[in-house]
Amino acid sequence: MTQPPAMEDGFARVPLGRDWPDIRDAVRAICAKYPGAYWRALEDSGGFATEFVAELTEAGFLAALIPEEFGGSGLPLRAGGVILEEIHASGCEGNTCHAQMYMMHMLVKHGDAAQKARYLPGVASGAIRFQSFGVTEPATGSNTLELRTTATRDGDSYVVNGQKIWTSRALHSDLMTLLVRTTPLDRVKRRTDGLSILLVDIREAKGAGMTIRPIETMVNHQTNEIFFDNLRVPAGNLVGEEGMGFRYILDGMNSERILLAHESIGDARFFLDKAVAYARERVVFNRPIGQNQGVQFPLARAYSEYRGADLMTRAAAALFQAGQTCGDEANLAKMQSGEAAWNAAEACLQTHGGFGVAREYDIERKWRAARVQRIAPISTNMVLAYIGHGVLGLPKSY
């Protein structure tokens, strides 16, 4: 029988050339110190990956997108994506630390000089953990424009009241980005007006009008509900102009979608590597199971989807970096990579038969995480709705 090609770089290797090879190698070297057993133990204890995040911070990876003048590396979005892709391809979890990467552009682009000087060097060094993004609310869900958390100006503060849900990492973050309504919906011309962004110092806010309650989920995502009861936030923590927050947050959302698309690309590589290796090795009925087309074709299809999603993700990152409109590509990349990773996860789990559900193989852990990527930060339906009415010009459903 002809020998299959060597799998030096993993079968689902980076197909268009290994851009940022030094970063990829260095991230993988760190990830190698945090194998599946580390993540399984955290799931058992409900713990947070403090050591993993500290090591990535120490190595400068979480400051990759912060401009050099504030102590970061000033690298393009693609480099940040490559870091997250390698974390995921290694079986580790980017949700422990990805938020500061995607919130950075919003702060760099729309924050004032005092805010940047106050926060960015600390974020770059790791002294300030900037990992929480409070948008979603229990009553309004995907309908962000109708969110109900309000901030009312009172002297040199804003007084915040309301509730957020699914705010990830709030208990492991010092600073959060909070989207609030500063002008009631019935007093604005457009629904996108009247929303504002506040930087909330969680260290000061906890117990002084802000209460954080963890939510148990099927993944160790460290997500929470947050209650605001007359929380006072200094007016100097308003990002940009009052009422313009939704426009600013769109910048953050595009970078979030593109960066998280890279995570799904990494997941797809993880699943394909594992599944292809197993399908070659596992012999049943006197043949490798991968010789059966019932096993082979789902893997081939998942590989095809992963390659397409990788191209879209690279295109979205390039447009973002060039300062061009990239909402369509950011959404497409997020959806396509999320679907590719999920189909690879399904094929991988099925290929492993009973071993797919054994915890020590780490497939079921990553499978659960890949499932969440089809819901958060944007659900597949909302991307389809965006394409339907925003791109194809079909009537809007909401």
Ligand X SMILES: Cc1cc2nc3c(=O)[nH]c(=O)nc-3n(C[C@H](O)[C@H](O)[C@H](O)COP(=O)(O)OP(=O)(O)OC[C@H]3O[C@@H](n4cnc5c(N)ncnc54)[C@H](O)[C@@H]3O)c2cc1C
Please report how close the Cβ of residue 138 comes to ligand X at its closest, in angstroms: 8
Please report how close the Cβ of residue 80 comes to ligand X at its closest, in angstroms: 17
Distance CA 388, CA 273 (A): 34
Q: Which of the ranges 60-68, 111-119, 160-168, 253-261 carries the binding residues for ligand X, by CB under 6 A?
A: 160-168
Residue 296 buriedness (CB in 10 A; 0-12 / 13-18 / 19+): middle
> For the chain, how long is the longest CA-to-CA vector?
79
Q: Which of residues 252-291 bind ligand X (CB under 6 A)?
A: none
Please report how close the Cβ of residue 303 comes to ligand X at its closest, in angstroms: 27
Helix (H, G, I), strand (E, B) or coil at 197: strand
234 lies in the binding site for ligand X (CB under 6 A) = no
377 lies in the binding site for ligand X (CB under 6 A) = yes
Please report how close the Cβ of residue 286 comes to ligand X at its closest, in angstroms: 44
Please report how close the Cβ of residue 70 comes to ligand X at its closest, in angstroms: 24
The single residue listed with the structure tokens 């993988």 is 28
Instruction: Tell me how crowded residue 173 is: count the other CB atoms within 10 A of its CB.
Output: 23
Distance CA 233, CA 154 (A): 10
Distance, first Cα to last Cα, the chain: 58
| Cis status of the peptide bond prior to 377, with omega within 30 of 0 | yes
Among 167, 173, 237, 264, the residue binding ligand X under the rule CB under 6 A is 167
Contact 324, 286 (CB under 8 A): no
245 lies in the binding site for ligand X (CB under 6 A) = no
Among 208, 375, 391, 394, the residue binding ligand X under the rule CB under 6 A is 375
Please report how close the Cβ of residue 222 comes to ligand X at its closest, in angstroms: 9
398 lies in the binding site for ligand X (CB under 6 A) = yes
Please report how close the Cβ of residue 369 comes to ligand X at its closest, in angstroms: 9
What b/e readout covers 356-385, taking b as 16+ CB neighbours within 10 angstroms?
Answer: beeeebbbbbbbbbbbbbbeebbeeebbeb
192 lies in the binding site for ligand X (CB under 6 A) = no
Contact 233, 151 (CB under 8 A): yes
Among 121, 141, 243, 327, the residue binding ligand X under the rule CB under 6 A is 141
392 lies in the binding site for ligand X (CB under 6 A) = no
| Cross-strand pairs, 234 | 157
Distance, CA of 227 to chain centre: 23
293 lies in the binding site for ligand X (CB under 6 A) = no
Distance CA 214, CA 227 (A): 12
Which H/E stretch holds residue 341?
helix 327-351
Helix (H, G, I), strand (E, B) or coil at 13: coil
Q: Is beta strand 223-234 parallel, antiparallel or unpaired with respect to 157-168? A: antiparallel
372 lies in the binding site for ligand X (CB under 6 A) = yes
381 lies in the binding site for ligand X (CB under 6 A) = yes
Q: Which is nearer to ligand X, 322 or 375 (CB)?
A: 375
Q: Which of the ranges 135-143, 193-201, 238-246, 337-345 carries the binding residues for ligand X, by CB under 6 A?
A: 135-143
Q: Which of the ranges 33-41, 68-76, 253-261, 379-387 carries the binding residues for ligand X, by CB under 6 A?
A: 379-387
Among 50, 152, 217, 230, the residue binding ligand X under the rule CB under 6 A is 217
What lies within 8 Å, CB to CB, of 351 at 6+ separation is: 275, 278, 279, 289, 290, 295, 298, 299
Is 85 in the active site?
no
334 lies in the binding site for ligand X (CB under 6 A) = no
Please report how close the Cβ of residue 311 comes to ligand X at its closest, in angstroms: 25
Contact 123, 100 (CB under 8 A): yes
Name the active-site residue from 85, 225, 256, 339: 256
How many residues touch ligand X (CB under 6 A)? 23
382 lies in the binding site for ligand X (CB under 6 A) = yes
Among 135, 195, 210, 341, the residue binding ligand X under the rule CB under 6 A is 135
Helix (H, G, I), strand (E, B) or coil at 60: coil
379 lies in the binding site for ligand X (CB under 6 A) = yes
166 lies in the binding site for ligand X (CB under 6 A) = yes
Residues of the shown chain interacting with ligand X in the complex, contacts defined by CB under 6 A:
133-136, 141-142, 166-168, 217, 221, 223, 372, 375-379, 381-382, 385, 397-398
Which residues are designated catalytic? 256
